[in-house]
């Protein structure tokens, strides 16, 4: 199981909870003719959100996928630091790598549970900065925020 959040284009997603949940159900059938690993072709401010968040939570797949081979380089850096040599890379927290499913009007993100609080806080803050909507998929009766005021109310 993963900790899941959804970011959406607030100009597309319905406002009422029942209508939103029906829209969300249709969205997550994943029937759009697109590559869900690619951020290409997303509506509204979704591309800006994706660009803002992907640096802290690198994508697992797609054109911006995290290069796990770079972790080997980081380990070499450790040995260089221990025995001398050029400057070493800092260790990377692999649990930050995130599975993104990029639909035209939403981005579904699956995080590891170990980064739940960090992911929630950063996603809500990035949503507020970029003007996108937010849905806490993993929460029972998860919060849905379409407006900046609703997003600010979610900040911890």
What is the per-residue pLDDT across 12-36, written as a single tens digit (0 to 9) for each?
A: 999 999 999 999 999 999 999 999 9
pLDDT at 71 over 70: no
Q: Write out the two tokens for 30.
A: 């994943």
pLDDT at 40 over 70: yes
User: CA–CA separation, 88 vs 73, rounded Å?
Assistant: 9
Q: Please, are residues 6 and 108 in contact by the beta-carbon 8 Å criterion?
A: yes
Sign of dihedral through CA atoms 10, 16, 20, 22?
negative
User: CA–CA separation, 42 vs 22, rounded Å?
Assistant: 20
**What are the residues whose beta carbons fall under 8 Å from the beta carbon of 91, sequence distance 6 or more?**
74, 78
Can you give the pLDDT at residue 81?
47
Kindly report the pTM of this predicted structure: 0.84
Confidence grade of residue 121 (pLDDT, cut at 50, 70, 90)? very high
């Amino acid at each position: 199981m993963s900790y899941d959040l959804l970011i959406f284009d607030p100009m597309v997603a319905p406002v009422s909870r029942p209508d939103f949940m029906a829209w969300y159900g249709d969205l997550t059938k994943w029937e759009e003719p697109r590559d869900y690993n690619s951020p290409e072709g997303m509506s509204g401010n979704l591309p800006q959100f994706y660009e803002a968040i992907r640096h802290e939570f690198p994508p697992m797949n797609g054109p911006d996928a995290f290069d796990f081979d770079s972790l080997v380089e980081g380990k070499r850096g450790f040995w260089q630091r221990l025995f001398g040599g050029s400057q070493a890379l800092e260790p990377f927290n692999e649990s930050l790598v995130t599975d993104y499913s990029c639909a035209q009007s939403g981005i579904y993100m699956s995080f590891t549970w170990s980064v739940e609080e960090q992911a929630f806080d950063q996603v809500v803050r990035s949503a507020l900065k970029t003007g996108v909507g937010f849905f806490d998929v993993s929460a029972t009766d998860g919060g849905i925020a379409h407006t900046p005021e609703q997003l600010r109310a979610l900040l911890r």
